[in-house]
């Protein structure tokens, strides 16, 4: 081992304030060795900061975040329990489903919010820009932006199912102002990432439904999101792209493995991706940054994964809020069926 690695090892051994396993220490040392090898071939890269590594390890008790070109989250963890198909690369298996009232499913209740009069507004260039709608609190308790989860989808026909028939689908937060029981407001918001045609018009008809952030049992649920069985995700990587005043873009890649006995079509699956400062936070947590997206095979990959095979999947051009450093939070990915 080189002098650099000896120094690095002594530094980690002396950092007694960190509570980490021996496997994690070895993971950190291996990442440093890999980076050191890359430095020999790319002299222009800056030397890795030991201080940054220590800060990341202190803030993430079961992971390492190296801010070089991308934040990579290793997959050296036991397989998830049977029937729970997700990559929680910063968590011990079972920690995500502990937030679920029933294993293998997310039970959602519709929020007491009426959404009517939805219409699309254009910008000065004549392109679709914002959605305006009337929102009413028809319940008995005040509603805040982070106490509800909006699911916005674009379907070809107004009556089609929001989840299974949407050409594009994503999460939105509720109105920024508190809605007391009976309050009715006109609310405008700008959905980001909706595909457009050659004229800049959004493709499809928008449909918006709000759910509460509290997961419930299947018997209490209005809708169920079911985790896909027989598949797991490994090697989840988050790559920051661009940042501006009101948001930032990034890309997520992963390797999907078919552990079952039948071929799996990516068209029948979706993923919930969320970032949370709290290691045990579910995607419904009020402070989580959450995204809903289809699974797309990387260039050259197949849309159908045979038993025992794997394929690299990509979630390109994802756009999130301008919240500082949320991409450095723990990333979680749950693979769900493309139907309620």
Please indicate, yes or no, whether residues 307 and 253 belong to a single structural domain of this protein: yes
Residues 95 and 239 in one domain: yes
DSSP, collapsed to helix, strand or coil, labels residue 242 as: strand
- What pLDDT band is residue 26 in, cutting at 50, 70 and 90? low
Mean pLDDT of the chain: 77
Residue 297 C-beta-side C-alpha neighbours within 13 Å? 15
Q: Is residue 20 part of a domain?
A: yes
Query: Mind listing the pLDDT tens digit for each residue in 317-328?
Result: 898 888 888 998
- Cβ–Cβ < 8 Å for 291, 273: yes
Q: What is the pLDDT of residue 323?
A: 85
Same structural domain for residues 93 and 239?
yes
Position 167 pLDDT exceeds 90: no
Q: Could you tell me if 183 and 271 lie in one domain? A: no
How many independent structural domains does the chain possess?
3
Stretch 196-208: mean pLDDT: 89
For residue 53, give its domain range.
3-59
The residue-averaged pLDDT of 249-263 equals 94
Q: Residue 94: what pLDDT? A: 31
> Tens digits of per-residue pLDDT, 48-86?
333 333 333 333 333 332 222 233 333 333 333 332 333
Three-state SS for 334?
Answer: strand
Could you tell me if 203 and 196 are in contact, meaning their C-beta atoms sit under 8 angstroms apart? yes
The reply to whether 218 falls in a domain is no
pLDDT band at 30 (very low <50, low <70, confident <90, very high): low
Domain end point (choices 162, 192, 213): 213
246, HSE (Cβ side, Cα atoms, 13 Å): 3
54 dihedral zone (left: phi>0; alpha: psi -120 to 50; beta): alpha
CATH number of the domain within which 116 lies = 2.60.40
d(CA 146, CA 263): 38
- The reply to whether 320 and 248 lie within a common domain is yes
Confidence of residue 168 (pLDDT cuts 50, 70, 90): confident
Give the model's pLDDT for residue 18: 44
Residue 53 pLDDT:
38
- Tell whether 286 is covered by a domain: yes
Residue 104 neighbours by CB under 8 Å, 6+ apart: 83, 84, 97, 226, 227, 229
Same domain, 269 and 184: no
Indicate whether 228 belongs to any domain. Answer: yes
The residue out of 180, 213, 246 marking a domain boundary is 213
* Residues 90 and 132 placed together within one structural domain of the fold: no
Q: In this structure, are 163 and 268 located in the same domain?
A: no
Query: Residue 102's pLDDT band (boundaries 50, 70, 90)?
Result: confident
Let me know if residue 219 belongs to a domain. no
Structure tokens at 286: 């009020």
Could you tell me the two tokens for 130? 């914002």
Examine residue 263 and state whether it is found in any structural domain, yes or no. Answer: yes
Token pair in block for residue 190: 């700008």
Q: Are residues 101 and 114 in the same domain?
A: no
Q: Which of 182, 213, 244 is the last residue of a domain?
A: 213
């Amino acid at each position: 081992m080189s002098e650099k690695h000896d120094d690095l090892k002594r530094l980690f051994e002396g950092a007694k304030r960190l509570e980490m396993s021996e496997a994690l220490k070895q993971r950190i040392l291996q990442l440093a060795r890999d980076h050191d090898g890359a430095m020999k071939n790319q002299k222009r890269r800056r030397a890795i900061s030991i201080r940054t590594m220590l800060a990341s390890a202190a803030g993430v008790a079961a992971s390492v975040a190296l801010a070089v070109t991308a934040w990579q989250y290793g997959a050296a963890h036991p397989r998830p329990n049977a029937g729970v198909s997700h990559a929680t690369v910063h968590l011990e298996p079972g920690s995500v489903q502990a937030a679920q009232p029933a294993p293998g499913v997310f039970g959602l209740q519709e929020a007491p919010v009426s959404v009517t009069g939805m219409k699309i507004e254009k910008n000065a260039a004549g392109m679709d820009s914002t959605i305006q709608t009337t929102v009413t609190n028809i319940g008995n308790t005040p509603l805040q932006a982070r106490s509800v989860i909006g699911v916005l989808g674009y379907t070809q026909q107004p009556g089609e199912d929001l989840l299974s028939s949407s050409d594009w689908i994503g999460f939105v937060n509720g109105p920024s102002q508190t809605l007391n029981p009976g309050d009715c407001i006109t609310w405008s918001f700008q959905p980001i990432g909706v595909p457009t045609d050659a004229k800049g018009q959004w493709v499809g008809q928008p449909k918006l439904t709000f759910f509460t952030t509290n997961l419930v049992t299947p018997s209490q649920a209005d809708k169920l999101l079911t985790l896909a069985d027989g598949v797991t995700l490994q090697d989840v990587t988050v790559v920051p792209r661009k940042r501006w005043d009101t948001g930032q873009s990034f890309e997520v890649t992963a390797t999907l493995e078919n552990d079952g006995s039948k071929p799996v079509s990516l068209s029948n699956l979706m993923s919930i991706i969320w970032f949370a400062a709290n290691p045990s936070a579910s995607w419904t947590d009020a402070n989580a940054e959450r995204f809903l997206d289809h699974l797309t095979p990387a260039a050259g990959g197949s849309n159908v994964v045979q038993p025992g095979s794997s394929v690299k999947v990509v979630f390109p051009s994802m756009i999130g809020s301008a919240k500082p450093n949320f991409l450095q939070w723990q990333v979680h990915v749950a693979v769900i069926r493309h139907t309620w």
